[in-house]
Amino acid sequence: MATEAGHGAFAAVDDELSALAADLSAGRRPVSAEEVISAPGLVAIYALLARRAGTKTPLATPEEVTRAVASNPVARAACEMLAKAFWAQAGSLAMTFGAWDGVLVIGGLANAIRPSLRLPGAQALFSASTRYRRVLGEVPRALVTLENGELIGVAEALRHG
């Protein structure tokens, strides 16, 4: 099913993500999932956290943020917050579309923040937004790390009708 789910509202499932969404939307409207869970979203989250911390470290690209994770606590926090936002939204979408058989995470951004996506605290948000926590907690999740995995998957889907 083709969708434009990224343009739907972001699923802020806890106080931290609600504050993030409020800060990123600047009162204009609900923030979309894509504004948070994307390469530009990572830079926006980093800039927001840097301002909150009073840090003036000028990281302006997603690549700079992900490369700085080991040495820059704000970059690490930005990647971790993006991972939390990702899993919260993924859980909401799994519930919406009935993805009970599993969720495959594919793409460059996911690979770039892979260590953060694997954190138990981030993954816990997959099932945080609903009273169906137990059911969502049983949905298998996997990170596909193949180069161009998304294209390989589409090619296979097309090949098999």
pLDDT surpasses 70 at 112 = yes
Instruction: Say if residues 58 and 93 touch (Cβ distance below 8 Å).
Output: no
Name 104's bridge partners: 142
- Considering its fold, how many domains does the chain have in total? 1
Q: What is the pTM of this model?
A: 0.90
**For residue 122, what is the domain's CATH number?**
3.40.367.20
The domain in which residue 95 lies consists of 5-159
CA angle 64, 151, 120 (to 5 degrees): 55
pLDDT surpasses 90 at 30 = no
pLDDT surpasses 90 at 146 = no
